[in-house]
């Protein structure tokens, strides 16, 4: 088991309930895949450093989680197929 961090940006067109539903969806992917979510840090709506597909802001969320080596691949796949995810990244947490 390794420690990972992921940050993702959701569309600013989403309402609060949709954002919370997506956060729970991604937490579920981690927990159902045998991992544990250590920390969820919701940053709220922030301005992007540069526009992505004519979008200038989004809802930022940071997860810290512990999982096996296969789970980040599945989480990446789910991020890619979920509508409204503007950007995401998954990294191994340095100790």
**What are the pLDDT tens digits along the chain (95 aa)?**
999 999 999 999 999 999 999 999 999 999 999 999 999 999 999 999 999 989 999 999 999 999 999 999 999 999 999 999 999 999 998 76
Rounded to 5°, the CA angle 43-56-78 comes to: 60
Fold for the domain defined by 2-92:
Alpha-Beta Plaits (3.30.70)
Alpha helix positions (H), the chain: 16-32, 71-81
What pLDDT was estimated at residue 60?
Answer: 97
What pLDDT was estimated at residue 93?
Answer: 85
What pLDDT was estimated at residue 76?
Answer: 96
- Domains of the chain, residue spans: 2-92
């Amino acid at each position: 088991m390794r420690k990972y961090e992921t940050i993702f940006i959701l569309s600013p067109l989403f309402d609060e309930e949709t954002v919370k539903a997506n956060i729970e969806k991604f937490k579920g992917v981690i927990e159902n895949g045998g991992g544990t979510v250590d920390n969820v840090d919701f940053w709220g709506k922030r301005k992007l450093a540069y526009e992505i597909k004519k979008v200038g802001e989004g809802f930022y969320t940071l997860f810290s989680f512990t999982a096996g080596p296969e789970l980040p691949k599945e989480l990446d796949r789910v991020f890619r197929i979920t509508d409204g995810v503007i950007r995401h990244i998954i990294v191994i947490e340095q100790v």
